[in-house]
């Protein structure tokens, strides 16, 4: 195995493309679904925008895994004449297959972008990314379509590929980048330890997260080599994203809810606003890759283990205190859904180091008896129309012995998807952390 998973492959690929970092004309386009996680790490590493370029393979009748060609936006259709001739596939048969795949292509475009317009490509250097290159039909269609959109330069970038397909790609692309070219290539999946199919939801989260990160860059000075960090946990590690504006006055560690991750668009949106308010933020996966695989197989055994997740938050807090550029910052938690319970338990277990907690649509009731041990000032934010959760928060509020408050966001439901609801959450959280977490610069220097 060459790569742990697609994210690992993307980071390796970003290293190969590092010479392009900082260029303003770059855009990374991932081929869905599997190419998008790879592309997300490439875009992050190069500090450039990420989007999706939807291409659909045309599978041979009865042998759908065998690509007889592919289609892409703009009416582009690429055929593999050798396969078409060998299987004696007629033009009407190809048209039927293409019409079916065209409908799926259009559906994915709507789902992935959620109403956002496709990015402008004309005059830009486009990096087309997939998780590997086998026959190359899908990527070839993508290159030809991007060429029609008047890209200035087209770079095909894949972590692993077949030599013959990579060489053929040079006939249509301006440059091909592939760090691993095995002598015996039988398929992309054989080079990944974890080649779990990428879902539509994962693609959506990655694209939304990238859009928020692009906004977050505006006006912010970020410390360190990029945003990606690895936090050791025992013999393994979890992945996280650290954002630290110049002169940060506190660190907020995010605990996402069950089924979510550091790519949660809602948490990223709140983190962006906290960055603008002057706070450093740490968005992290609460489970390692191996733990996530076990959790999926067990039906969520770990994602609902509040004690386990609270220990992971404590480990992240300890890691932050060991970092030279973070150790002077007081730490707070922002928890969503079940993540709020984990944040409260962690705060109760580590009262000397956790200085404030904010819960968004949380389940503080799941913290149980640990609520009485929380000393950090705690704010419970609940949607006005999140009826069952309101009651759970009201009960939890009576059990908290620390400074506390509960606020209902007008008109909001559990996910705060209503217009302006999430901004209201950000403002409440920013005010709470400013009051209870921020430390004047003169005090920080004396610590």
Residues 339-361: what's their mean pLDDT? Answer: 95
Enumerate long-range contacts of 221-225, CB under 8 Å, 24 or more apart.
Answer: 221/245, 221/246, 223/325, 224/325
Peptide bond into 17 cis (omega under 30): no
Is-contact 383 414, C-beta < 8 A?
yes
Residues 363-385: what's their mean pLDDT? Answer: 95
Average pLDDT in the chain: 87
- List, for residues 327-336, the tens digit of each pLDDT value: 889 999 999 9
Is-contact 335 346, C-beta < 8 A?
no
The DSSP secondary structure of 303-367, one letter per residue, reads: TT-HHHHHHHHHHHHHHHHTSTTTTTS-EEEEEETHHHHHHHHHHHH-TTTEEEEEEES--GGGG
Question: In Å, what is the CA distance from 178 to each residue of 102, 150, 185, 304?
Answer: 29, 24, 13, 40
Put the strands of the sheet holding 251-255 in their side by side order. 228-233, 236-243, 280-284, 251-255, 331-336, 354-360, 378-383, 404-409
| % of the chain beyond a pLDDT of 70 | 93
Enumerate long-range contacts of 262-268, CB under 8 Å, 24 or more apart.
Answer: 263/202, 263/205, 263/206, 263/208, 263/209, 264/205, 264/209, 264/336, 265/205, 265/208, 265/209, 265/212, 266/336, 266/360, 266/415, 266/416, 266/422, 267/334, 267/336, 268/208, 268/209, 268/212, 268/213, 268/216
What whole-number distance in Å separates Cα of residue 409 and Cα of residue 353?
29
Residue 447: pLDDT above 70? no
Tell which residue, 46, 83, 89, has the closest CA to residue 67.
83
- 182's CB contacts (< 8 A; 6+ apart) are 2, 160, 191
- 447's CB contacts (< 8 A; 6+ apart) are 328
- 14 CB burial (10 A radius; 0-12, 13-18, 19+): buried
Least confident of 21-35, 147-161, 262-276, 321-335: 262-276
Spell out the alpha helix ranges (H) of 17-75. 35-46
What whole-number distance in Å separates Cα of residue 345 and Cα of residue 348?
5
Tell which residue, 253, 259, 267, has the closest CA to residue 208.
267
- List, for residues 66-83, the tens digit of each pLDDT value: 778 888 777 778 787 878
Is-contact 105 142, C-beta < 8 A?
no
pLDDT range class, residue 265, cuts 50, 70, 90: confident
What whole-number distance in Å separates Cα of residue 425 and Cα of residue 303?
24
Residue 215: pLDDT above 70? no
The pLDDT assigned to 269 comes to: 86
The pLDDT assigned to 109 comes to: 80
The pLDDT assigned to 212 comes to: 60
Total count of residues recorded for the chain: 447
Is-contact 121 155, C-beta < 8 A?
no
The pLDDT assigned to 150 comes to: 86
More confident residue, 261 or 104: 104
What whole-number distance in Å separates Cα of residue 206 and Cα of residue 350?
32
- List, for residues 284-316, the tens digit of each pLDDT value: 989 988 888 888 788 778 888 899 999 999 999
More confident residue, 338 or 299: 338
- 154's CB contacts (< 8 A; 6+ apart) are 125, 126, 128, 143, 146, 147, 172, 173, 174, 175
DSSP 8-state code for residue 54: -
The pLDDT assigned to 45 comes to: 84
């Amino acid at each position: 195995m060459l790569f742990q998973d697609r994210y690992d492959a993307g980071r390796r690929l970003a290293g190969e493309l590092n010479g392009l970092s900082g260029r303003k004309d770059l855009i990374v386009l991932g081929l869905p679904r599997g190419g998008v996680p790879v592309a997300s790490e490439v875009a992050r590493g190069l500090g450039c925008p990420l989007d999706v370029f939807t291409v659909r393979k045309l599978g041979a009748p009865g042998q759908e895994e065998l690509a007889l060609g592919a289609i892409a936006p703009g009416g582009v259709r690429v055929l593999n004449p050798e396969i078409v001739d060998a299987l004696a596939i007629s033009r009407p048969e190809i048209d039927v297959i293409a019409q079916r795949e065209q409908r799926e292509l259009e559906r994915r475009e709507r789902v992935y972008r959620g109403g956002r317009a496709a990015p402008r490509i004309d005059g830009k250097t486009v990096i087309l990314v997939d998780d590997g290159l086998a026959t190359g039909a899908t990527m070839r269609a993508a290159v030809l379509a991007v060429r029609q959109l008047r890209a200035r330069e087209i770079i095909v970038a894949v972590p692993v590929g077949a030599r013959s397909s990579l060489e053929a790609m040079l006939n249509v692309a301006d440059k091909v980048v592939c760090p691993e070219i095995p002598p015996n290539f039988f398929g992309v999946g054989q080079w990944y330890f974890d080649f779990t199919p990428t879902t539509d939801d994962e693609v959506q989260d990655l694209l939304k997260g990238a859009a928020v990160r692009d906004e977050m860059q505006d006006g912010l000075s970020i410390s360190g080599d990029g945003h990606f960090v690895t936090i050791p946990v025992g013999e393994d590690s979890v992945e996280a994203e650290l954002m630290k504006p110049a002169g940060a006055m506190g660190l907020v560690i995010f605990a996402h809810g069950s089924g979510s991750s550091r790519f949660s668009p809602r948490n990223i949106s709140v983190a962006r606003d906290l960055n603008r308010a002057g706070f450093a933020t740490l968005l992290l996966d609460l489970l390692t890759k191996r733990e996530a695989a076990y959790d999926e197989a067990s039906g969520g055994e770990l994602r609902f283990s509040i004690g386990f997740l609270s220990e992971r938050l404590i480990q992240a807090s300890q890691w932050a205190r060991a970092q030279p550029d973070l150790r002077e910052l007081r730490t707070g938690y922002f928890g969503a859904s079940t993540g709020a319970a984990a944040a409260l338990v962690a705060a109760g277990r580590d009262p000397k180091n956790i200085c404030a907690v904010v819960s968004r649509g949380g389940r503080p009731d799941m913290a149980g008896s640990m609520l009485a041990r929380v000393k950090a000032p705690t704010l419970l934010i609940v949607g006005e129309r999140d009826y069952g959760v309101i009651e759970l928060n009201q009960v939890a509020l009576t059990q908290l012995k620390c400074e506390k408050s509960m606020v209902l966001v007008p008109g909001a439901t559990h996910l705060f998807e209503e217009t302006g609801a999430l901004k209201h959450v950000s403002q409440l959280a920013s005010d709470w952390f400013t009051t209870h977490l921020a430390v004047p610069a003169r005090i920080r220097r004396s610590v």
